[in-house]
Chain A
Amino acid sequence: MIERRRGLTILSHAILLTGVAIVAFPLYLTLIASTQSAEQIAQSTPMSLWPGGHALETYRTALFGGATSAGTKIPGAASMMWVSLVSALIIAIGKIAISMLSAFALVYFRFPFRNVVFWMIFVTLMLPVEVRIGPTYEVVAGLGMLNSYAGLTVPLIASATATFLFRQFFLTVPDELVEAARVDGAGPMRFFKDILLPLSTTSIAALFVIQFIYGWNQYLWPLLMTTNEEMYPVVMGIKRLIGGESFTEWNVVMATAILAMLPPALVVMLMQKWFVKGLVDVEK
C-alpha cells in the first residue's frame, strides 16, 4: 500500500480477518464437535462452541474402531490411514521419478518425434482421472489390479504437470554446466544423478508436497475400484461413517476428519521451507 492511512489499515485488516474466519471456522467447528459426545451434538441446537470433555474416547473410537454407546459399529481409521499413506507416498514418489526422467529425456536428448511425444504428454493435462475413469477402470480391472495398491496408484502416477515443472527447471540449467560435465567425462545418466538430481532438490520437495496431498485426497478413483474394506483410504472412510441405516456418530466423523487432515498438514509444515523455496526460486 502506498499510503498509510488509518481507515485503510482497519479496512484491510477487517477483510483479512473475515477471510481467516471463513476458512478457519469450519475447521474449528470440526475440532469442537470431535470433543463432544454424539448425544451432545444431536440434542443441542445450535451446537455448543466450547470444547466438550469426550475427546479421548472419541478419538480412540475413531482411530481403532469399535461399537459406540448408540450401538453403531465404527471401522477404525488407523488401517485406512495406512492405506492412504502408502498410496499417497507411492503416487508422490512415482510421479516425481517418472516426470523427472521424462523431462530429462525431453530436454537433453534429440530423438525422432520428440515434439510429438511432448505434445502427447501435454494433451494428458486435459484428461484428468475423472474424464477417463471408465476406460481406466476397464483396463485396471482387466489387469486384475482392483483392490490393490497398484490399482490405487498406477493410474494416477503419470503426470504432465510435474513433467512440465521439471522441464522448465532443466531448461534453466546453463548449457555450460552440461558441457563441463561432458568434458569431465560424465555420461547422460551420471550427469542426471550427480548434477541434475542435486540441483532439483527444491523442486522435488515442492512437488512432493503437492503430489502427496493430491494422492491423499483421492476419493472418486478409490471409490470406484475398491470393494474390499481393507483397501479403503481414509477419505472414503469419512464418507462411509455418514448416513447409512444406522445413527450417524457426528463426533466420530469429525474426529476422523481431523485425523485425515493431520498427515497432509504435517507434510506441508515439515517441508514448508523447501516448498516455498521450490516455488519461488531455483538455486542456480
Chain B
Amino acid sequence: MASITLNNVVKRYGSGKTANQVIHGVNAKIDDGEFVVVVGPSGCGKSTLLRMVAGLEEITGGEIMIGDRVVNDLEPSERDIAMVFQNYALYPHMNVFDNMAYGLKIAKVPMAEIEARVAKAAKILELGEFMKRKPRELSGGQRQRVAMGRAIVRQPQVFLFDEPLSNLDAKLRAHTRLEIQKLHRELGITSLFVTHDQVEAMTLAQRMIVMNGGVMEQFGTPDEVYSHPATTFVASFIGSPPMNLLSNAPDSEPGTVVGIRPEHLDITPGGWALRVDALEMLGFERLIYGRWQHGDGDEMVIVRSDEAQPVPELDSIIHVTPRADRLHTFDAATGKRLSANA
C-alpha cells in the first residue's frame, strides 16, 4: 500500500499558442489506505487527473508519486496500480476467469497462485458460478464486479476507479456503493475514485477533491466540504438543491455573496418575505421556490421544509429567517470563502 502525492500537476494538450491547458497545477496528498473521491462537473479534468495517475495520459508538468516513487515516466503496468474503467473494458473473447487472470499471466505469476488469487477475488465478489462465462453473457452489475475482480487480483498499491457506477441503474448503484465501501474496509487499499455524482462522492469518500475547470477547489472530508465550502462553486455544486447564493442580501457588506443552505432557512412570522413561485413535494420533505424582492432586484431562494409545516399556497407570501450560525460569506469577485463560521 502507498500514498499518492500530486505536486503541482499540470496537463496541457498541444503546445505554443494553440495549447489547451486542462489541469492547472493540482497539489494533493492522498494518505496510505485512504479512499478519496474526485468529483466535479463534466469537463472539469477529473478523469484526466485519474488517467495521469494511471499512466494513460502523459504528465505535462509537475510530479506524481506513488509511495516514494516518482512515476511520471513509468508505464501503467509498472506503477503497481489497478484500474476499473467506466465501461469495464472486459476482454470480450475471454471468459471471466481469463479476464481476471490475464494481467497475472503476463506478469508470469505461477498458475497455482493465479488460481488461488482469482478464486479468492471471486469469493469476495460472489462471482464463483460465472467463471466460465463470457462478458456478454453477464448483466451490467456482474460485469462491473468482474472489472473489480480484475483489479483486486493484481493486489496493487492503488485502486483507480473511473466512474465505475455510471452505467448501473439507480438501485444497483446504491448497492454497489455499499460493496465498494465494504471492499475498501476489508482490503484497505489506497483508492482514487472519480465521479460526477455528488451522492457517490459524499457516501464513499473519506476525503474528497472538488474540481472545476481544471482547478482543485477544495480537498476535505465530505462534512467539511458540505459545511464549509471553500468557494461558491463548491457551495453550489455539493448539496441538492444547491446552497442559496445571494449577491445583495440585506446587511451584507458590498462585494460579498451570502450563502445559506435551503434547510437552514426557517419559516417564521417575520424575516425575509418570499413570494412562492413553485413547490416540489418530495414526500419526506418539500422544496419551496420563492422569489425574494428587495431593494432593486429579486433573487430566487429555495427553502427546504418538512411535513410538520403547513403547505404554503402558490403566489402567497411567506417569511423566512436564516440561522445566523449557518450563513456563509464569499468574496463576490474571487468566489473564495471569507467567513470562518461554525
The reply to whether chain A is a binding partner of chain B is: yes
* A142 is an interface residue with CB less than 8 A from chain B: no
With known contacts A179-B56, A194-B102, A199-B93, A184–B77 Cβ distance under 8 A: yes
* B75 is an interface residue with CB less than 8 A from chain A: yes
* A283 is an interface residue with CB less than 8 A from chain B: yes
* B82 is an interface residue with CB less than 8 A from chain A: yes
**B85 and A182 within 8 A (CB):** no
With known contacts A184-B102, A185-B107, A177–B91 Cβ distance under 8 A: yes
Contacts of B150 in A (CB 8 A): 180, 184
Residue from B82, B87, B90 within 8 A of A183 (CB atoms) = B82
Interface membership of chain A positions 176-201, coded 1 if the CB is closer than 8 angstroms to chain B and 0 otherwise: 11011111111000100011001100
* Complex Cα–Cα for A184 and B103 (A): 4
- CB B133 to nearest CB in A, in angstroms, measures 15
* B236 is an interface residue with CB less than 8 A from chain A: no
Contacts of B106 in A (CB 8 A): 184-186, 190
Interface of B is mostly: loop
* Complex Cα–Cα for A199 and B87 (A): 18
Interface membership of chain A positions 196-229, coded 1 if the CB is closer than 8 angstroms to chain B and 0 otherwise: 0011000000000000000000000000000000
Contacts of A199 in B (CB 8 A): 92-93
* A174 is an interface residue with CB less than 8 A from chain B: yes
* B172 is an interface residue with CB less than 8 A from chain A: no
Which chain A residue shows the least CB distance to B156?
A183
* A132 is an interface residue with CB less than 8 A from chain B: no
- CB B59 to nearest CB in A, in angstroms, measures 16
* Complex Cα–Cα for A199 and B93 (A): 7
**B77 and A179 within 8 A (CB):** no
B interface residue count range (under 10 / 10 to 19 / 20 to 34 / 35 or more) = 20 to 34
**A284 and B92 within 8 A (CB):** yes
Which chain A residue shows the least CB distance to B147?
A180
* Complex Cα–Cα for A284 and B92 (A): 7
Q: How many A-B residue pairs have CB under 8 A?
A: 61
With known contacts A177-B89, A198-B93, A284-B92, A182–B107 Cβ distance under 8 A: no
* B81 is an interface residue with CB less than 8 A from chain A: yes
* Complex Cα–Cα for A241 and B82 (A): 68
**B91 and A185 within 8 A (CB):** no
With known contacts A183-B83, A185-B77, A176–B107 Cβ distance under 8 A: no
**B102 and A183 within 8 A (CB):** no
**B89 and A182 within 8 A (CB):** no
* B152 is an interface residue with CB less than 8 A from chain A: no
Which chain B residue shows the least CB distance to A177?
B89
**B89 and A185 within 8 A (CB):** no
Name the residue among A184, A195, A283 with the largest chain B CB count within 10 angstroms. A184
Which chain A residue shows the least CB distance to B86?
A176
Contacts of B102 in A (CB 8 A): 184, 186, 194
Residue from A180, A185, A284 within 8 A of B85 (CB atoms) = A180
The residues in A between 109 and 151 inclusive whose CB is less than 8 angstroms from any CB of B are none
* Complex Cα–Cα for A177 and B85 (A): 9
**A179 and B85 within 8 A (CB):** yes
Contacts of A194 in B (CB 8 A): 91, 102
Contacts of A176 in B (CB 8 A): 85-89
Contacts of B90 in A (CB 8 A): 180
* Complex Cα–Cα for A63 and B87 (A): 57
**B92 and A182 within 8 A (CB):** no
* B188 is an interface residue with CB less than 8 A from chain A: no
With known contacts A176-B85, A190-B106, A182–B91 Cβ distance under 8 A: no
Contacts of A185 in B (CB 8 A): 75-77, 103, 106-107
* Complex Cα–Cα for A157 and B80 (A): 43
**A180 and B92 within 8 A (CB):** no
- CB B144 to nearest CB in A, in angstroms, measures 14
The residues in B between 97 and 140 inclusive whose CB is less than 8 angstroms from any CB of A are 102-103, 106-107
- CB A108 to nearest CB in B, in angstroms, measures 14
Instruction: List the interface of chain A (C-beta within 8 A of B).
Output: 174, 176-177, 179-186, 190, 194-195, 198-199, 283-284
List 22 interface pairs A-B (beta carbons < 8 Å), by A numbering: A174-B87, A174-B89, A176-B85, A176-B89, A179-B54, A179-B85, A179-B89, A180-B83, A180-B89, A180-B150, A181-B91, A182-B55, A182-B75, A183-B103, A184-B103, A185-B107, A186-B102, A194-B91, A195-B91, A199-B93, A283-B92, A284-B92
Closest 8 CB pairs of A and B: A185-B77, A184-B103, A176-B89, A180-B89, A198-B93, A185-B106, A183-B76, A176-B85
Given A176-B87, A185-B77, A185-B107; 18 other pairs, CB 8 A cutoff:
A176-B86, A177-B91, A179-B56, A180-B83, A180-B89, A180-B90, A180-B150, A183-B54, A183-B77, A183-B81, A183-B82, A184-B103, A185-B106, A190-B106, A195-B91, A199-B92, A283-B93, A284-B92
